[in-house]
C-alpha cells in the first residue's frame, strides 16, 4: 500500500517515533495507523486512514506467542506459574507503562476529549492497545523476528524484576502472603466510604492487620478499591 501524504494538520514526527521504536518503516501509513484511536476518526471524517484496532488484534496474538514461547523455552516451571508470569507481562498496566516509556503519547491520534483525559481506565486501555498495535505494525512491516526483538527489548527485560518482587501475584494475594509470614495475621478490608450516584460510585476501602489500618485505596468497585488498598499497603510496609 503506498504511503499517504497527509495534510499538514495531520502530520506527526514519525522519525522520532521510529528512533524510539528502533524500527524504520517503508510503509509510513502502517506506523501512522498504529497510533490512531477510533475517537480521532469521529472528529476527523476526512482522515485517510483507519483506526488501530485491527493492528491491535494482530499485535495481541504476536505478543502472546513471543512471551509464551520465551517462557516455555527458558523456564521449566508448571503451567500455572507460567500463566501467571505471562499475565503479569501482557496486562494493560504493563503495556500502558511501556507505551508511556516510549514517550510517544503526544504523537497519538486522539479526539480532543481523549487528549484531555490523561488518567483513568480508559486512558490506560488506549495506551496498552497502542503498544499492541505497534507490535502488529512491526510484524507486518518486518516480520516475526523484528517483532520478537522489539518485545524482547521492551517487555521481556521486565521479567526478572517481576519475578524478584513477585509482581505476578495480584496485590491482595501478595500482601496476604507477606502479612501471614511476617505477622501471622490475615488482612481484612472495610468499606470506609461510598461517593457518587449508583451508576458511577467511587469506593474507599481500608486494609487492616488486626485493628491497625495499614492503608486505604479507592476504586470504581469494592474489588478495585481493595486492590488499590493492598497495593498501597505493600508500599507502606515496604514489602
- Decide: 51 and 33 in contact? Cβ < 8 Å: yes
Residues near 196 by beta carbon (within 8 Å), at least 6 away in sequence: 202
Q: How many CA atoms lie within 13 A of 107 on its CB side?
A: 20
Instruction: Cite the residue boundaries of each domain of the chain with CATH code 1.10.1520.10.
Output: 8-164
Q: What is the mean pLDDT of residues 65-91?
A: 95
| Least confident span in 82-86, 132-136, 204-208, 218-222 | 218-222
| Least confident span in 92-101, 117-126, 219-228 | 117-126
Helix (H, G, I), strand (E, B) or coil at 11: coil
- Cell representation of residue 137: 505494525
Give the predicted TM-score (pTM) of the model.
Answer: 0.76
- Decide: 194 and 201 in contact? Cβ < 8 Å: yes
Is the pLDDT reported for residue 1 higher than 50? Answer: no
Task: List, in sequence order, every residue forming a beta bridge with 206; answer none if it has no partner.
Answer: 190, 216
Q: What is the mean pLDDT of residues 177-183?
A: 92
153 CB-contact burial (10 Å; exposed 0-12 / middle 13-18 / buried 19+):
exposed
- CATH number, domain 8-164: 1.10.1520.10
Q: What is the dihedral of CA 17, 18, 19, 20, to 10 degrees?
A: 50
- Decide: 163 and 85 in contact? Cβ < 8 Å: yes
- Active-site positions? 60, 132
Instruction: Cite the residue boundaries of each domain of the chain with CATH code 3.30.160.20.
Output: 171-237
- Domain 171-237 is of which CATH architecture? 2-Layer Sandwich (3.30)
Residues near 61 by beta carbon (within 8 Å), at least 6 away in sequence: none
Is the pLDDT reported for residue 98 higher than 70? Answer: yes
Pairwise CA distance, residues 130 & 216, whole Å: 31
Quick: pLDDT tens for 119-148. 667 888 999 999 999 999 999 999 999 999
Q: What is the mean pLDDT of residues 24-31?
A: 95
Tell me what pLDDT residue 6 has. Answer: 75
Pairwise CA distance, residues 191 & 194, whole Å: 8
Amino acid at each position: 500500500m503506498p504511503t499517504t501524504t497527509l495534510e499538514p494538520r495531520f502530520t506527526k514526527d514519525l522519525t522520532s517515533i521510529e528512533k524510539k521504536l528502533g524500527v524504520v518503516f517503508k510503509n509510513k501509513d502502517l506506523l501512522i495507523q498504529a497510533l490512531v484511536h477510533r475517537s480521532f476518526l469521529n472528529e476527523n471524517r476526512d482522515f485517510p486512514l483507519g483506526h488501530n484496532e485491527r493492528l491491535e488484534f494482530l499485535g495481541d496474538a504476536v505478543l502472546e506467542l513471543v512471551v509464551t514461547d520465551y517462557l516455555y523455552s527458558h523456564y521449566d516451571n508448571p503451567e500455572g506459574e507460567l500463566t501467571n508470569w505471562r499475565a503479569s507481562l501482557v496486562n494493560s498496566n504493563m503495556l500502558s507503562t511501556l507505551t508511556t516509556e516510549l514517550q510517544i503519547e503526544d504523537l497519538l491520534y486522539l479526539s480532543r476529549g481523549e487528549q484531555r483525559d490523561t488518567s483513568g481506565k480508559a486512558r490506560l486501555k488506549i495506551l496498552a492497545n497502542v503498544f499492541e498495535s505497534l507490535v502488529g505494525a512491526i510484524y507486518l512491516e518486518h516480520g516475526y523476528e523484528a517483532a520478537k526483538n522489539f518485545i524482547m527489548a521492551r517487555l521481556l527485560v521486565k521479567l526478572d524484576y517481576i519475578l524478584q518482587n513477585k509482581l505476578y501475584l495480584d496485590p491482595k494475594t501478595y500482601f496476604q502472603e507477606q502479612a501471614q509470614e511476617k505477622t501471622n495475621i490475615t488482612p481484612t478490608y472495610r468499606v470506609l466510604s461510598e461517593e457518587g450516584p449508583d451508576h458511577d460510585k467511587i469506593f474507599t476501602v481500608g486494609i487492616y492487620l488486626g485493628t491497625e489500618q495499614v492503608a486505604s485505596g479507592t476504586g470504581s468497585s469494592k474489588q478495585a478499591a481493595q486492590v488499590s488498598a493492598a497495593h498501597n499497603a505493600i508500599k507502606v510496609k515496604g514489602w
